[in-house]
Amino acid sequence: RALRIVVVGSVAAGTSAAAKARRNTESARITVYERDHDISYSGCGLPYFVGGEVESVDRLTPRDPAWFAARYGVEVRTGHEVVAVDAAARTVTVREPTTGRTFEDDYDELVLATGVRPVVPPIDGIDAPGVFPVRTPSDARAIDAWITERGARRALVVGAGYIGLEMTEQLTSRGLEVTVVETAEHAMPRMDPDMSARVDAELRRHGVDLRLSTTVAGVRADDDGVTGADLQGRDGTADQVAADLVIASVGVRPNTELARQAGAELGPTGAIAVDRRQRTSVEHVWAVGDVAESFHVVTGDPVWVPLGSTANKTGRIAGDAMTGGTLEHRGILGTSVVRVFDLGVAQTGLTEQQAGAAGYDVEVLHNIKPDRPEYLGGRPLVIKAVADRASGRLLGAQAIGASGADKRIDILATAITFGADVADLFHLDLAYSPTYATTKDPVHYTGMALT
Ligand code: FAD
């Protein structure tokens, strides 16, 4: 009989797995169950809908079940939650929350692409109307409607990771006054402090009220919803801010319930442990995307950095592997880039702090060079690279600048992936025109730092 593939979750990873499986085999019967309504959307675009750069949320959800049926012969069933897995019998139990109907389906291969859920911080008042996570198109629609209907003027963003900062930028450009509260000492706390301090300055330059080393002790609300919050500084100071809406962006947790129920092991990061083909510890059960653990290209250690780039890749790898392909995951560097007002803020590989914690004798290489000649508008690009002093091997890099940080971090990520030494960077044959770069590129200067 035809191979029977069941996928749970239909955003980035689940749809990638289904599409790749179909490309490899015409005969498989493939069903994707999704408990939500929207599928295959760009979660990464949601802040830009709230800010108005993307005119309609429909632009972020271009595909529906009919498209998948016509294009791939894949059945996508929205409004269907998988509530149980019986790995011995190879069946799943599916529930339709709208009708309460429950039924069983069987599988030969089961793909868990159940993603993450936003952390709800344990704060008084966090469930008040006007407090929003940012994860799904429904969240973005709700935030947009709340701002419009309430004429909201002041926003409080809790958490200064990349999603919090994207929302901060977009709410500011929509005309709201924004306060950002962050427990750590700097915004973008995954970066080294000397780099993230530049992000702090950029936020403040754009009028953001940035409260560092501060926590939200409670959200205040009246009958109409949120009115503000009580803040608590690490130094013991207490304060209050007024707010018409609150964005809770304090991180995410993997949806591992089904995996645990199926008996699949979780890794040390708390996400589902998988091998290089995305197989879990349970036969015929695969895990892909944000719910799955990965491993670090440099250290080989288990890591969990939930990103859409990795979700698409790991979905494709599982879809290939379960249909006879040979794709294997080669690990991640956690490469990421975010625009924060006028700055591109990018990183890849180990930070100085992480490299030190991993036991390397760390060499730090810093340079600030214009990304293009100043006569064509070049502006300073700060690159911080970290290397292993003993071998010279590049371990990680961070780049911040008005333009060109994205390109340089991708060059450096590529170099790290292929095991480059710092000195190798000087020898890269990179494109030069004064409209795009300098004759010696900022990446070349990083490579010249030790010679
Ligand atoms: P998810 O997108 O979490 O999808 C999982 C799906 O599974 C959900 O729809 C859920 O309803 C469904 N599901 C869960 N359990 C069940 C069940 N039991 N039954 C049925 N269905 C179930 N990444 C980047 O690389 N770059 C960016 O710039 C970037 N920006 C982002 C900005 C925002 C605001 C957000 C929210 C995310 C951003 N990301 C970015 C991250 C990226 O969106 C995620 O990595 C990606 O969506 C992960 O895809 P996934 O399919 O693994 O999981």
What pLDDT, in 10s, does the model give residues 268-307?
A: 999 999 999 999 999 999 999 999 999 999 999 999 999 9
Integer Cα distance of 360 and 380 in angstroms? 29
Catalytic residue among 4, 25, 29, 44: 44
Query: Would you say the pTM of this structure is higher than 0.90?
Result: yes
Please state the atom number of ligand 1 nearest to the C-alpha of residue 307.
Answer: 45
> 401: Cβ below 6 Å to ligand 1?
no
Atom 6, ligand 1: which residue's CA is nearest? 9
User: Quick one: which of 39, 310, 49, 334 has its CA closest to 170?
Assistant: 49
User: Quick one: which of 92, 96, 59, 62 has its CA closest to 77?
Assistant: 96
What pLDDT, in 10s, does the model give residues 155-187?
A: 999 999 999 999 999 999 999 999 999 999 999
> 311: Cβ below 6 Å to ligand 1?
yes
> 9: Cβ below 6 Å to ligand 1?
yes
Question: What is the chain's length?
Answer: 451
Residue 1: per-residue pLDDT:
85
Active site residue 44: yes
Tell me the mean pLDDT in the region 338-359.
98
Percent of residues, the chain, with pLDDT higher than 70: 100
Atom 52, ligand 1: which residue's CA is nearest? 289
Tell me the mean pLDDT in the region 401-421.
97
Residue 272 backbone phi and psi in degrees, to 5: -75, 130
Q: How far is the CA of 322 from the centre of ligand 1 (A)?
A: 22
What pLDDT, in 10s, does the model give residues 26-71?
A: 999 999 999 999 999 899 999 999 999 999 999 999 899 999 999 9
Atom 46, ligand 1: which residue's CA is nearest? 308
Residue 238: per-residue pLDDT:
96
Residue 450: per-residue pLDDT:
78
Q: How far is the CA of 116 from the centre of ligand 1 (A)?
A: 6
449 pLDDT band (50/70/90 cuts)?
A: confident
Q: How far is the CA of 295 from the centre of ligand 1 (A)?
A: 19
Kindly give the pairing relationship between strand 177-181 and strand 209-211: parallel
Integer Cα distance of 207 and 199 in angstroms? 13
Dihedral angle computed from the Cα positions of residues 186, 118, 168 and 47, in that order, rounded to the nearest 10 degrees: 140
Residue 451: per-residue pLDDT:
74
